[in-house]
Structures are given as C-alpha cells and as structure tokens.
C-alpha cells in the first residue's frame, strides 16, 4: 500500500472540546469510582471504544496475567479527555481514542506518558505500510516520543445499496449524491453529529479541518437544512440503517462506512457497501479515515499491566479478535502481518471491504478536529430540530 499523506495542518490549538461527539456511540459501564485499589500489580482499568471490552479480548488476558480488568466504554473523544482532566487519570491506566487527541491534547497537557520505544517500535515494522514507523499520529509533535499504539481504523463516508446505486456512480458523485433531487426521500441520516458535521462540510465543498469563512457557514447551514428536510429516516442506530437498506426502505445513508455496515456484510449482504468518494475538498480527497491510538495514562499509581496489555493486543490472534469484536468489524493495522491476513476468512475480508481498502485509504484524509465544531453544532442542531 502507498503511504497516506499526513502533512495537513493541526487545528486543535485553543479549541473548546467539551461539546464534541465522536466516531461512534458506545454504552457506558457503571461508574467505577474515583480511586484505584491498592493491589495495582493485578489490576488494570481501561477507558476504550467498544470492542476492547469484549470478553473474547479481555478474558484471555485476565487468565494469562492473573489480572482484574475493568473496562468503560468511551462515549466520545472529548468526554474521555475531560474525564482525565477532571482527575480520572488516577483511575485509568489506558485510554483508547481517535488519532488527533494523543499528540494534540493528552500529551501536551501531561495526561498520558510516552512509551518505551525499544519495546514497542518493532511492532510498527509489522503493520500496514501506512502505519509504519514513525507514524505521525502515534508520535509527539516533535516526533521524539512514542505516545501510543495503533490498531483499528477505517474509512467513514456513506453507505449505499449497490443493487440500487452502483459503487462506481456513488464514488463518482461522492456526497453530492445526497443533494440530487432524485434522492429526496430515498436516504437515511445516521445521526452521529460529529461525523455528520464533517460530511456536511465536504458536501458544502470545503474541508472541515480549518477555520471557516462566513460564506462557508452560510453554505453549511443550507446543506444541513436540505439534508435533514429530505431524509426519509433519522437514527443513531447503524444496525437499523443497514436493515432499512436491506429491506428497500432506503437506498443509501449519510455517514457510514466499514464500521457501520460490516455486520450486514458479514451476514451475507454484500450489496450494503461503504463508499469513499473519488475526490473532494480536503486536498483533493472526499473521504475521511479514523485511526484509534491507545495510550498509557499518566496515572501516579500506574498498573504494570498497562504496557503488557498494549503488547498483548498486538498479537496476531488477539488482533483478529479486536477486528471482529461484537457490534462492528474493522480493519486493523496488524493486517500488515501475513499471519493476521491468513487468519481472516474470505467472508471476513469481504465484511471489512478488504478488496478496496488500499484504494479507499489513498482517497481518504486523516480524521482531525474541526476548530469551528461548536458553532457548526448549533447550526446542525437547529436544522435537525426544524426538520
């Protein structure tokens, strides 16, 4: 695979993040309290996106290390950051967030610790080429410190039923597909606000990852109102959206990709397909790829099991379990290892759209943060309410 370009500007400086939402929703586990136990050698507390809390991932680690592992699902990247800021760095040992946060916020604020490069660098040499050393989002801003390990990733743009809308047509039209009058009442909106806002920016013809002009805000509002007004169904449930595609209730849904449609594809509905546009306004790209980075929390009583877990999930057998956790299936950076690729069945590779993964990555920009997110969220919320 050819390397993704990662020379885009950083836009997090001075940004308020409390209102942000994230790549996908997750269920919050019961409150664990504010203090870790005294027996830290046998305890590990992880704050993670759904999937890493799967018994198939955690139970073998518990047995191998005789460890008590408690997991809480991340609801959004900003929510997790604010938990650590509020003092929960004394609770958590590992945090798993999307790619901008470690280098831009967590490390500069002293909320995470650098990793032992001698111990962890060799794992990058086995990853897919795009993620090999030194991978930008796993490194500090000065490229001197390793801040986390990558694993799950995926393109996220929109999803179509290819029996109704061909893949080639969808890739050619990109998000303009949803502005076509013939699509009125034929599409759904998967209401993941952060991603909807990013995709509405692309639909409006500009990148989300910059400071925006008043003219762009006006166009963003026009697009948001149009999309909400003409959508047949609104839901934050990607499984319901897939079902609507399969039964013919809709022909496409706005915001979606490998993460959201892989379960349907795994069940044999290969006509449900995530689409990456051929072109767009983000340095010529119209798609976005998210990448998770797992970091060591700067916990004053850090569990020695934290780095063990980071190594454990790099194992080929565990990488496959992470890729095919309950709720969604995703590519993992460890697909660079033949042992991992060979462990995937043909059906599993089809579920994660491995046939087009290289092409999609080449046409995606890296997930980043929108510095005008708060203002756009107000516009977005108003447009949804009016619809």
pLDDT in tens, 101-141: 999 999 999 999 999 999 999 999 999 999 999 999 999 99
CA 60-63-65 angle, 5° bins: 105
| Residue 272 lies in domain | 154-287+369-386
Same domain? 182 vs 279? yes
**Residues 322 and 378 occupy one common structural domain:** no
Give me the helix-helix angle, 214-230 and 193-204, nearest 10°: 110
Strands 364-366 and 287-297: parallel
Per-state percent for the chain, helix, strand, coil, to nearest 5 = 45, 20, 40
Q: What pLDDT, on the 0 to 100 scale, is given for residue 20? A: 36
- Cis (ω within 30 of 0) for the bond into 134? yes
* Cα–Cα distance measured from residue 318 to residue 105, given in angstroms and rounded to the nearest whole number: 29
pLDDT above 70 covers what percent of the chain?
90
pLDDT at 30 over 90: no
Do 230 and 279 sit in the same domain of this protein?
yes
On whether both 95 and 142 belong to a single domain, the answer is yes
Same domain, residue pair 164 and 227: yes
Measured in whole angstroms, the distance separating CA 62 from the mean position of its chain's CA atoms is 26
Question: Which residues does residue 95 pair with via DSSP β-bridges, in sequence order?
Answer: 47, 295
What pLDDT was estimated at residue 183? 98
Residue 279 domain-assigned (yes or no): yes
- Is 160 contained in some domain? yes
Q: Are 304 and 272 found together in one domain?
A: no
pLDDT computed for residue 345 by the predictor: 95
DSSP classification of residue 28: P
Q: Does some domain include residue 364? A: no
Digit-coded pLDDT (tens) for 307-350:
999 999 999 999 999 999 887 799 999 999 999 999 999 999 99
Judged against a pLDDT cut of 70, whether residue 38 lies above it is answered with no
Q: Residues, the chain, total?
A: 387
Residue 17 lies in a domain: no
Same-domain status, 227 and 269: yes
Q: Is residue 84 domain-resident?
A: yes
- Mean of the pLDDT values across residues 214-243? 98
CATH assignment of the domain containing 281: 3.40.190.10
270: which residues sit within 8 A by CB, 6+ positions away? Answer: 350
Other Cβ atoms closer than 10 A to 77: 27
Residue range 171-195, pLDDT digits in tens: 999 999 999 999 999 999 999 999 9
Is residue 8 one of the residues assigned to a domain? no
Residues 158 and 147 in one domain: no
List, in sequence order, every beta strand (DSSP E) within 51-177. Answer: 68-73, 94-98, 112-113, 149-161
How far, in whole angstroms, is CA 65 from its chain's centroid? Answer: 29
Going by the DSSP 8-state scheme, the letter that residue 284 receives in this structure is: T
Placement of tokens 């762009």 in the chain: 216
Rounded Cα–Cα distance for residues 287 and 243 (Å): 24
Looking at residues 238-257, what average pLDDT do you find? 98
Q: Is the pLDDT of residue 15 over 50?
A: no
Pick from 32, 74, 31, 33: which is nearest to 51 by CA? 74
Q: State the chain's mean pLDDT as an integer.
A: 91
Model pLDDT, residue 34:
37
What is the distance between the alpha carbons of residues 182 and 189, in angstroms, rounded to a whole number? 16
Q: Give the whole-angstrom CA distance, residue 40 versus residue 276.
A: 45
Query: For residue range 154-168, what is the model confidence (pLDDT) as tens digits?
Result: 999 999 999 999 999
Cβ atoms within 10 Å of 143's Cβ, excluding its own: 10
Q: How many domains does the structure of the chain reveal?
A: 2
Q: Is 210 found in the same domain as 84?
A: no
How far apart are the C-alpha atoms of 151 and 292, rounded to whole Å? Answer: 6
Whether 382 and 242 map to the same domain: the answer is yes
Does any domain span residue 195?
yes
| Residue appearing with tokens 């209401």 | 191
Q: What is the pLDDT of residues 54-88, one digit of tens each?
A: 999 999 999 999 999 999 999 889 899 999 999 99
Taking CA atoms, 40 is separated from 36, 47, 63, 161, 342, in Å, by: 8, 16, 16, 50, 37
How many C-beta atoms lie closer than 10 Å to residue 8's C-beta? Answer: 15
Short-list 102, 276, 288, CA closest to 207: 288
* Torsional sign, CA 162, 167, 169, 173: positive
Residues 188 and 283 placed together within one structural domain of the fold: yes
pTM of the model: 0.88
Residue 330 token pair: 């995703």
Whether 228 and 374 map to the same domain: the answer is yes
Q: Give a yes or no: residue 216 inside a domain.
A: yes
- Mean pLDDT, residues 255-279 taken together: 97
């Amino acid at each position: 695979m050819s390397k993704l370009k990662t020379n885009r500007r950083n836009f997090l400086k001075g940004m308020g993040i409390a209102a942000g939402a994230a790549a996908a929703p997750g269920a919050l586990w019961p409150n664990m309290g504010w203090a870790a136990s005294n027996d830290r050698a046998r305890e590990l507390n992880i704050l993670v996106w759904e999937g890493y809390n799967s018994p198939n991932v955690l139970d073998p680690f518990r047995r191998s290390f005789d460890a008590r592992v408690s997991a809480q699902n991340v609801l959004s990247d900003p929510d997790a950051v604010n938990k650590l800021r509020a003092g929960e760095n004394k609770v958590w040992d590992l945090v798993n967030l999307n790619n901008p946060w470690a280098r831009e916020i967590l490390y500069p604020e002293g909320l995470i610790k650098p990793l032992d490069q001698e111990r962890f660098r060799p794992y990058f040499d086995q990853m897919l080429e795009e993620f090999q050393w030194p991978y930008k989002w796993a490194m500090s801003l000065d490229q001197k410190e390793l801040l986390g390990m990558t694993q799950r990733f995926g393109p996220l743009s929109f999803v179509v039923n290819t029996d109704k809308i061909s893949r080639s047509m969808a890739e050619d039209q990109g998000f303009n597909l949803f502005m076509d009058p013939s699509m009125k009442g034929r599409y759904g909106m998967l209401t993941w606000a952060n991603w909807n806002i990013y995709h509405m920016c692309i639909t409006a013809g500009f990148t989300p990852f910059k400071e925006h002009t008043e003219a762009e805000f006006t166009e963003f509002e026009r697009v948001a109102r149009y999309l909400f007004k003409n959508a047949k169904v609104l839901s934050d449930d990607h499984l319901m959206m897939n079902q609507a595609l399969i039964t013919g209730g809709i022909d496409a849904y706005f915001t979606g990709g490998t993460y959201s449609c892989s379960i349907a594809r795994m069940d044999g509905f290969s006509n449900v397909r995530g689409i990456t546009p051929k072109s767009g306004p983000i340095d010529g790209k119209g798609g976005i790829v998210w990448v998770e980075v797992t970091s060591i929390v700067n916990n004053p009583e850090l569990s020695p099991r934290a780095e063990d877990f980071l190594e454990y999930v790099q194992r080929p057998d565990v990488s496959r379990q992470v890729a095919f956790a309950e709720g969604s299936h995703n590519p993992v950076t460890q697909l660079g290892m033949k042992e991992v690729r060979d462990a995937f069945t043909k059906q599993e590779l089809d579920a994660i759209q491995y046939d087009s993964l290289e092409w999609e990555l080449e046409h995606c920009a890296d997930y980043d943060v929108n510095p005008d997110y708060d203002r756009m969220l107000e516009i977005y919320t108003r447009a949804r309410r009016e619809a």
